[in-house]
Amino acid sequence: MVGISVLSNGQFQAVYNVLSFALASMIFATLFMLVAQGRVLPRYRQALITSATVTGIAAYHYFRIFDSFRHAYVQTAVGGDYSLVAGEGFNEAYRYVDWLLTVPLLLVETVAVLALAKKVQSQLLVRLVPASALMIILGYPGEIATELGPKMVWGALSTIPFLYILYILFVELGNSMGRQPAGVAKELAKLRLLLLATWGVYPISYLFPAFGEFFSSAWFEGTNAFVLRQYGYSTADVLAKVVFGLMIYKIARMKSFADDRSFAKSEGH
């Protein structure tokens, strides 16, 4: 439980709004992916179903996060500060439960849209899925740590499987680009950059409290660090799940058109 005791009205509204935005994004991305399955060939629908599962799980957890935050604080006066309700706390653990489920599925989604040979897909997932779970599990003790030392130690340990995942994805995605239809390789390059950029936001957000101690800056301390972390995590989630899923959909469409010209013609392409 996160126990920031007092938030200003502006800080409370800022977190409230970004959580609401993330929740709406996840809900409607899920609906879109489910409805859009008929717009790609059957061999690529697993990627869309997995994407819908990712955003659906995230929508559920954002509802729980939003609800937890809303009930954790009460306004002391009209237009005034918000104080932590006695015996309550903002449950940050919901994020880690969400990531433990969705990060492996994001990797499954990425591998599925490549339509690689079954043996190659299995080999990739056997390496990627356990590494992603280990990354999340190692990060959580650092998230709840109140002292900088343990936070940095657990963060460093979590970074090891994180770098391993990026290495595998960059190598395998790079190897597959030459076998992709025209235009798809360019989209895969964008997908790879989006993956690196969005996943890079998570450790930065994780370290906001540490930045306050390193740089002696009030911007990264206490309530400011809390608000920045919620914005960082929520923005990264929308990019890594919603925007990433839309790019997966675009790639699946392009590959469907390249595989079946009659399907492309029926879709007006």
Six token digits for residue 1 = 């439980």
Other CB atoms within 10 Å distance of the CB of residue 181: 13
Low-confidence ranges of the chain (pLDDT < 70): 1-3, 87, 116, 173, 176-178, 182, 212-221
Other CB atoms within 10 Å distance of the CB of residue 10: 10
pLDDT of residue 29: 97
pTM: 0.89
Note whether 113 and 252 are within 8 A (CB).
yes
Rg of the chain in Å (alpha carbons): 20
73 phi/psi in degrees, rounded to 5: -125, 150
Partner residues linked to 2 by β-bridges: 90
Number of residues that make up the chain: 269
pLDDT of residue 66: 95
Six token digits for residue 153 = 């130690």
pLDDT of residue 192: 79
Note whether 236 and 242 are within 8 A (CB).
no
pLDDT of residue 208: 76
Q: 114-122 contacts: CB < 8 A, separation 24 or more?
A: 114/173, 114/176, 114/180, 115/43, 115/44, 115/255, 116/176
How far lies 167's CA from each of 69, 129, 164, in Å? 36, 14, 5
Superfamily of chain region 6-266? Rhodopsin 7-helix transmembrane proteins (1.20.1070.10)
SS3 for 99?
Answer: helix
The three-point CA angle 108-114-120 to 5° equals 75
206 burial via Cβ count (<10 Å: 0-12, 13-18, 19+):
buried
pLDDT of residue 214: 67
